C-alpha cells in the first residue's frame, strides 16, 4: 500500500540526521496521497539506523492507522490537522533543530533579514503562543495543529508562501509540496534562525530586508515569472 | 567476567566521540550489575582507537578493582558513590562536552526552557558548589560524588526524573537505567545547554517552559500513561 | 569546448559543500578563458550530487549562452559584469556561507582584525548598499554586479588586493586568479567573519590589526618579495 | 636522516585538519632531536593531501636547512627560537584555530575557568603584545619567537606548566614533550578558548577556577604523585 510514498517518506526521514537537524529519534517526516486521503509517517521512537521503508505507517486524516505494524509518530495528530486545513501541502517535517528551536524557546517570530530567507519564506516565520491547560487536556498534539492553523488565519498567512512555523517552547514544523521540499524548508529555517541570531548579536540595529528585495528574491524563484533553476 | 556488560560499556564509551561529546580520552562510561554489586568502567587515559571491550575494568562498590589489567578511570570513586546512593540507576557518563561544561563553568543551573529538555529532565538540572579544600584533601573524586548526592538531597530531587548534574568549574555527569540511556542523557544535556545559552542571548527575557507543558512532555514519555515510542 | 576549464569549474563547485560553505544548490563558481572571452559557470539549481563536468555552461561576456544544454546560474549576469570590469580576475564564487552572510545581513564592512585576514585581504572587505527599486527593475543580477564595481571604484580598492565583497542583505562574492583561489578566498572570508564576530563579542574594544602587521602579513605572501610557499 | 622523526612530524601535521584546527595549509608542526640539535618541520604552503613524510624539512637551530628539497615553513625562525630557549620542549605547533585565534585577536590572556584547562595548563595562557615596526624589520618570524620568550620571562612562567601562548592579532603556538602532545595542547587551548568565551557570555560574573581546584586537577595529571592514566 502506497509503497512509492513510503519509500519517499523513509528517504526524507533519513535526510534529517544527514543535514544535522536531529539527534536520535527527535523528528518526523510525513507525506500525503491527496487522492487516497491517506498519509504516510515515521513510526514513533524508532532509530534511524534500524528503520526500514516498510516500517512507515499509513494513517487517514482522522489519524487512524490504516496500515502498519508500528505505532505512528506521537505527533501524528498535528500532521493530520495540517493536512486537513492546508489543502495544498504534500509533506510535513517536525524537528528540534538547534537554531530554529532556539527561536521557538525565545518565543520570537523569525524576521526576513536576508535573501536566504526570502528565497524560501515570503516574510516573517511566525511563532505561536503556548497552549493553554484546556487545549493540552483536549489533546496536546491535535491542539498543536489547531494553534498553527489559528496563527496562520489570524495573521492571514498563505501556508505555501510561508511554509513553516515555530511552536513557542518547542520547535519548528515546516511543510512543502512534498516530503523532500518540506525537509529543504526545515534546513532553510534552521539556517536563517542561526544567521539572524548572530546578525542581531553583531549589529543590534540590523534591519529587516527591504520589501523590494524580499519581493525580488521570492518571486524570481516562486512567482509565475520565476527564472531560477531548469524548466 | 561480566562479558556482556563489558561489551555494553565499551560500546557506550565509543558513542561519546561519535556524538561529539569528547575529545581524546576526556570522558568515561560505566554500568553496574546490581545483582553482583559490581560495575564495569573505562580504563584511565586509554585512547578510543586502541581500546577493546576486554580493557574494561570491573570494580566493586568500594571501588576496588576486581578484574582488569589496567587502572580504572580516575573518576571511579565518583561512579561508586553514585551507584551506592542512587539505587535505581544502571549506567553513568562523565564528559567535558562543550556546552554543558560552559554552564558548569558559569556555575548555573540549567533551566527547562523547552520541550527538548522536558522530554528527558523533569525540571532544572542543578549545578553543585565547588568542593572545599578539606573535601579535596579527603579524596577529590569521592567528595565529588558526595557533593552530587548532597545537592540532590538538599533540593529533594529524584535522580531518575533529573538524570544529570553539573559540577561547578568542571562538567556534567549524567546517568540512566543503563549505559546507553546515560549516554543519551549526556547528549540531551549538552544540546539543551547550547539551546538555552543562545535562547537567553537572543531574548534575555525568555521564560522557562510553563509547568503545564513541562508536565505534558515529561509524562507523555515517562509517566505511567506514557504513549511515546513502541510497546 | 573549453573542456579543461569546465572540469576546473566543476571541481571548484564541488569544493563548496566540502568546505561547508553551501547547502543544497545555494552557490556557484565560474572561471574565464580570457583569450576566448568566454566563461564557464555552474547550471542553475542543479544538485551537486547529480552534476557532471559536462553540465557546465559556457557564456560570453554579454552573458549569452554559447554552449550548454542547461540554464546557467541565475547569477550569471553578476559574474559577467565582474569579468568585464575586473580585468585581472580569472574565477568568481558566490555563496550564502553562514558567517559571511551574517556580516552581509548586518550591513557591515569586515575589518582586518587578524593575520588570517591579512594573509588574503589587504584591508577591510566592503559591504555594498542595497539596490534601489530602479536598479532592481533594470535587471537585478546585472545591477548587483554594477554596485560591486561602484563600491570598489568609490573606495579606490584594488580587486586583487581585496578579492571579495559583501552584498547588503544577501551574501559574499569572492574572486581570484582562477576558480580554485576564488574558492579559497570564500573560505577565508567566511572564517574571518566568524572570528571577527566573536572577537568583538569577547572584547568590544578589540582593535583592528595595526597597519604594520597587515602590511607584513599581506606582503610576505603577495608582494614582489613574497617568501611564503614554494617557488 | 631522522626518518622516524620525519614520520612523527608528518603524522602530527595530519592531526591538525583531523581535529578541525586548520584549513588549507594554515598551520605547521615541528619536533626536535635534542642530541642532533636538529628539528624537522613541515614544508611551506604544501597541501595536506599531497604532502608525504619525505617532504618534511630538517633544520638546525640557526634555522638553516640541513636536508630537504622544499622550503621549510615560513614560521621556521619562530620554532628555532623556541627550541633554543625552552630547553625541555620536544615539539611545537602553530595554527589559526578558530577559537584560540579569536582570543588572540581580542588581545586577552585565557583565564583558567575550568578543569579542562587545569588538566593541561597550570594557570592563564598569556597573550603577547604586538611586535613593533623595528622588531618586524629585524625579522618578523624570529622576533615572534623573541616576544614569546620575553613574555614567559617577564611573567616568570614555566613553559612546561603553561605549554602555549597567543600572539596578539595572530593566533596560538603550543608545545609539548613531543609533536603529538603539542598537537593535543593545541586542541585543548582551542577548546578552552571556546568554552571560556561562551562562559563569560552566559554569565559575565563567572569566576576563574579556585586555586585549590586548579592545583588538584593539574597535579593529579602532571605532578610527581600523578595518578591519571596507566603507568
CB contact under 8 A, C184 and D104: no
The three grid cell numbers given for residue C181, joined into one nine-digit string: 583561489
- Please give the pLDDT value at position C133: 98
- Please give the pLDDT value at position C10: 97
Q: How far is D228 from chain C (nearest CA, A)?
A: 34
Phi/psi for D14 (5° steps) reads -65, -25
CB contact under 8 A, D136 and C212: yes
> A5, A157, A172: which is closest to A78 by C-alpha?
A172
What distances in angstroms separate CA C111 from CA A126, C21, C195, C217, one per listed residue?
A: 34, 21, 11, 15
CA–CA dist C62, C67 (Å, integer)? 14
CB contact under 8 A, A140 and B113: no
pTM assigned to the model? 0.96
Q: What is the mean pLDDT of residues A57-74?
A: 96
CA–CA dist B200, B205 (Å, integer)? 7
**For chain B, percent helix, then strand, then coil, each to nearest 5?**
45, 15, 40
3 state DSSP class of A65? strand
Active site residue A130: no
Tens digit of each residue's pLDDT (9 = 90 or more) over C104-113: 999 999 999 9
Tens digit of each residue's pLDDT (9 = 90 or more) over C61-88: 999 999 999 999 999 999 999 999 999 9
- Please give the pLDDT value at position B231: 65
Q: A211 and chain B: CB distance < 8 Å anywhere?
A: no
Q: What is the mean pLDDT of residues D161-173?
A: 98
CB contact under 8 A, D106 and C203: yes
Residue A224 pLDDT level (bands cut at 50, 70, 90): confident
- A neighbour chains, 3+ CB pairs within 8 Å: B, C
The residues spanned by each domain of chain C are: 3-222
Q: A201 and chain B: CB distance < 8 Å anywhere?
A: yes
Classify residue B195 by its DSSP letter.
H
The three grid cell numbers given for residue A180, joined into one nine-digit string: 523532500
Residue D65 clears pLDDT 90, i.e. is over it = yes
Residue D160 clears pLDDT 70, i.e. is over it = yes
> A30, A13, A9: which is closest to A22 by C-alpha?
A13
Tens digit of each residue's pLDDT (9 = 90 or more) over B48-64: 888 999 999 999 999 99
Q: Which helix (H) or strand (E) holds B95?
A: strand B91-95
What is B3-222's CATH superfamily?
Class II aldolase/adducin N-terminal domain (3.40.225.10)
Q: What is the mean pLDDT of residues D179-208?
A: 97
Residue D134 clears pLDDT 80, i.e. is over it = yes
Residue C158 clears pLDDT 90, i.e. is over it = yes
Residue A231 clears pLDDT 80, i.e. is over it = no
What distances in angstroms separate CA A209 from CA A51, A76, C135, C150, one per listed residue?
A: 42, 36, 16, 21
For residues A219, A221, A227, A228, the Cα torsion angle rounded to the nearest 10 degrees is: 150
> A167, A96, A120: which is closest to C23 by C-alpha?
A120
CA–CA dist A156, D154 (Å, integer)? 67
Residue B99 clears pLDDT 80, i.e. is over it = yes
The three grid cell numbers given for residue C227, joined into one nine-digit string: 617568501
Q: Which residue has the higher pLDDT, B210 or C220?
A: B210
Residues of A in contact with C24 (CB under 8 A): 184, 187
- Please give the pLDDT value at position D224: 83
Q: D230 and chain B: CB distance < 8 Å anywhere?
A: yes
Residue A26 pLDDT level (bands cut at 50, 70, 90): confident
Q: What is the rounded average pLDDT for all residues in chain A?
A: 96
The three grid cell numbers given for residue B196, joined into one nine-digit string: 538555552
Residues of C in contact with A19 (CB under 8 A): 23
CB contact under 8 A, D213 and B43: no
ipTM given for this complex: 0.95
Classify residue B110 by its DSSP letter.
B
- D neighbour chains, 3+ CB pairs within 8 Å: B, C
pLDDT above 90 coverage of chain B, percent? 90
Q: What is the mean pLDDT of residues A162-187?
A: 98
DSSP state string for chain D: --HHHHHHHHHHHHHHHHTT--STT-EEEEEEETTTTEEEEPBTT--TTT--GGG-EEEETT--EEE-SS-B-TTHHHHHHHHHH-TT--EEEEE--HHHHHHHHHT--B---SHHHHTT-SSPBPBPPPPPHHHHHHHHHHHHHHHHHHHHHHTT--TTTS-EEEETTTEEEEEESSHHHHHHHHHHHHHHHHHHHHHHHH-TTPPPPPHHHHHHHHHHHHSTT--SS--
Comparing alpha-carbon positions, the chain B residue that sits nearest to D206 is B106
Q: What is the rounded average pLDDT for all residues in chain D?
A: 96
Using CB atoms within 10 Å of the CB of residue A202, give its burial: 0 to 12 exposed, 13 to 18 middle, 19+ buried.
Answer: buried
CA–CA dist B104, B169 (Å, integer)? 5
* Cα A70 from chain centroid (whole Å): 23
Q: How far is D26 from chain B (nearest CA, A)?
A: 22
Phi/psi for C147 (5° steps) reads -70, -30
Within the 127-186 window of chain D, which residues sit less than 8 Å (CB to CB) from chain C? Answer: 130-131, 133, 136, 140, 169-171
- Please give the pLDDT value at position D190: 98
What distances in angstroms separate CA D197 from CA B43, C200, D206, D210, one per listed residue?
A: 32, 11, 11, 18
- Please give the pLDDT value at position D231: 66
Phi/psi for C27 (5° steps) reads 180, 165
The three grid cell numbers given for residue C80, joined into one nine-digit string: 559577467
Tens digit of each residue's pLDDT (9 = 90 or more) over A66-113: 999 999 999 999 999 999 999 999 999 999 999 999 999 999 999 999
CA–CA dist B23, D114 (Å, integer)? 16
Comparing alpha-carbon positions, the chain B residue that sits nearest to D217 is B140
Active-site residue numbers of C? 119, 228
Residue B5 clears pLDDT 80, i.e. is over it = yes
- Please give the pLDDT value at position C231: 66
Q: Which of C44, C99, C136 sits opposite A230 (nearest CB)?
A: C44
CA–CA dist A195, A171 (Å, integer)? 17
Q: How far is D207 from chain B (nearest CA, A)?
A: 8
> B17, B192, B81: which is closest to B28 by C-alpha?
B17
Residues of A in contact with B231 (CB under 8 A): 71
Q: How far is B88 from chain A (nearest CA, A)?
A: 23
CB contact under 8 A, B230 and A98: no
> B189, B164, B182: which is closest to B29 by C-alpha?
B182
CB contact under 8 A, A115 and C44: no
Kindly provide the b/e burial profile for residues B91-122, where b requires at least 16 CB atoms within 10 angstroms of the residue's own CB.
bbbbbbbbbbbbbbbbbbbbbbbbbbbbbbbb
Amino acid at each position: 500500500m502506497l509503497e512509492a510514498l513510503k519509500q519517499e517518506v523513509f528517504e526524507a526521514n533519513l535526510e534529517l540526521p544527514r543535514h544535522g537537524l536531529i539527534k536520535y529519534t527527535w523528528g518526523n517526516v510525513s507525506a500525503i496521497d491527496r487522492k487516497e486521503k491517506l498519509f504516510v509517517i515515521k513510526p514513533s521512537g524508532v532509530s534511524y539506523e534500524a528503520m526500514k521503508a516498510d516500517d512507515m505507517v499509513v494513517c487517514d486524516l482522522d489519524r487512524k492507522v490504516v496500515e502498519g505494524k508500528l505505532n505512528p509518530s506521537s505527533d501524528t495528530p498535528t500532521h493530520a490537522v495540517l493536512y486537513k486545513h492546508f489543502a495544498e501541502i504534500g509533506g510535513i517535517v517536525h524537528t528540534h533543530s538547534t537554531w530554529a528551536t532556539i527561536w521557538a524557546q525565545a518565543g520570537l517570530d523569525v524576521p526576513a533579514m536576508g535573501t536566504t530567507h526570502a528565497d524560501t519564506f515570503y516574510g516573517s516565520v511566525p511563532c505561536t503562543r503556548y497552549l493553554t491547560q484546556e487545549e493540552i487536556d483536549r489533546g496536546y498534539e491535535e491542539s498543536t495543529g489547531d494553534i498553527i492553523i489559528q496563527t496562520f488565519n489570524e495573521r492571514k498567512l498563505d501556508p505555501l508562501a510561508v511554509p513553516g512555523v515555530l511552536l513557542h517552547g518547542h520547535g519548528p514544523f515546516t511543510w512543502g509540496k512534498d516530503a523532500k521540499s518540506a525537509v529543504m524548508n526545515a534546513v532553510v529555517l534552521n539556517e536563517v534562525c542561526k544567521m539572524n541570531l548572530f546578525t542581531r548579536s553583531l549589529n543590534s540595529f540590523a534591519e529587516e530586508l527591504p520589501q523590494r528585495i524580499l519581493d525580488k528574491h521570492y518571486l524570481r524563484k516562486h512567482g509565475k515569472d520565476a527564472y531560477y533553476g531548469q524548466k
